[in-house]
Amino acid sequence: MLVVNAIFNSYSQTPIGAITYGNINNPQFIVFDEKLPRSSNALETLNANLRLDQNDQYLPTQQITDKLGNTHQKYQQYYKGVKVAAATYCVHYALDNQIAAISGNYFPIDQFNVVPTLSEADALTKALTIINAQAYMWQNPQNEQWLRTITNDSSATFYPEGELMVYSVTDSLDSISYHLSYQFNVICSQPFNSEVIVIDALNGALINRFSTFSNAIGTACTRYSGTAQPIETTLNTITNVWELRDNTRGGGIYTFDMDPDDDGIGGTNPTIGSVDFEDGD
């Protein structure tokens, strides 16, 4: 849904919203009119346009500058101090250092309990019971020593550390449920595998699991099918990034960027001058 709006910032009383793509209460993409006054304050812009309350917070995680000199800042959503999975927003600056657009995924969580009843240790026990591998990397002292050597960190270990987070589950196109969960990255030695497993921090139920080798299910915000839709991605073991390649259907469905130079001149042949869409996780 395309919504043309004129939202006013309570701080500056100047228009901050121009064209919103997505739901007005949960926009995925907002473009600001360059002819109107624009802000250079990322957090103020996120707070006002996403209508965050006192329980929500966005913290910066990454900043890059593209080939044209535009700056892009990535922010992670937290609810009552707990990380929200798959909830990042990017602030895009124009060359004049004013904000041109914001895009991403925001979860409007309301009255959610972030106090776990299950300990991290108990959650890991449940995760290992579900995985049921014959052996794990941290159980072999030689594996642990190898990791410490290559990382130059005497405390490095393969032993999984749980990350407490708010995890969203799409029940339908219009319904999302939230689960306080522990997320673990478990590396098995027999059989060899690396798996992310998510355990409910209140009742110990399995919320999600996927291998970090080869194909894995990612989460996408789509224009026509809602948010948090599952997509198949493939790990490039050479570059160690995930590519938008689905090898589970037919001969494979591959999505390419036909304009990798961002010069506005796109190609027509995916085998010439195109690149994969990539993401670190």
Residue 62 identity (one-letter amino acid): Q
Q: What is the pLDDT of residue 231?
A: 78
- What secondary structure does DSSP assign to 39-67, as a single string? ---HHHHHHHHHT--TTEEEEEEEEEE-T
Question: Which of the residue ranges 37-46, 72-81, 250-259 has the most confident prediction, judged by mean pLDDT?
Answer: 72-81
Of 187-191, 226-230, 274-278, the poorest mean pLDDT is in 226-230
Q: How confident is the model at residue 5 (pLDDT cuts 50, 70, 90)?
A: very low
Q: Which DSSP letter does residue 204 get?
A: -
> Residue written as tokens 């972030």?
114
Put simply, whether the predicted model's pTM sits higher than 0.85 gets the answer: no
Which class for 274: exposed (0-12), middle (13-18), buried (19 or more C-beta within 10 A)? middle
Q: Could you tell me which residues are beta bridge partners of residue 245?
A: 254
DSSP 8-state code for residue 252: -
- Distance, in Å, from the CA atom of 161 to the CA atom of 157, rounded to the nearest integer, reads 10
What is the structure's pLDDT at 133? 95
Torsion angles phi and psi, residue 39, rounded to 5:
-95, 160
Instruction: Evaluate whether 220 touches 229 at the Cβ level (below 8 Å).
Output: yes
Parallel, antiparallel, or unpaired: how do β-strands 163-172 and 245-246 relate?
unpaired
Q: What is the per-residue pLDDT for 11?
A: 33
| Helices first, then strands: H and E counts in the chain | 3, 20
Q: Which comes out higher in pLDDT, residue 119 or 34?
A: 119
Average pLDDT estimate for 30-47: 90
Place of tokens 């995890």: 167
**CA dist list (Å): 56 to 38, 87, 216:** 23, 11, 29
Beta strands (DSSP E) in 139-214 are 163-172, 175-190, 192-200, 206-211
Task: Give the span between the Cα atoms of 201 and 154, in whole angstroms.
Answer: 30
How far does Cα 267 stand from its chain's mean position? Answer: 29
In whole angstroms, how far apart are CA 119 and each of 125, 158, 199, 207, 240?
A: 10, 20, 11, 16, 32
- Measured in residues, the chain has a length of 281
Query: 20-32, pLDDT tens digit by residue?
Result: 666 666 778 889 9
Among 179, 171, 183, residue whose Cα is nearest residue 202: 179
Q: State the DSSP string of 234-262.
A: EEETTTTEEESEETTSTT-EE-EES-TT-
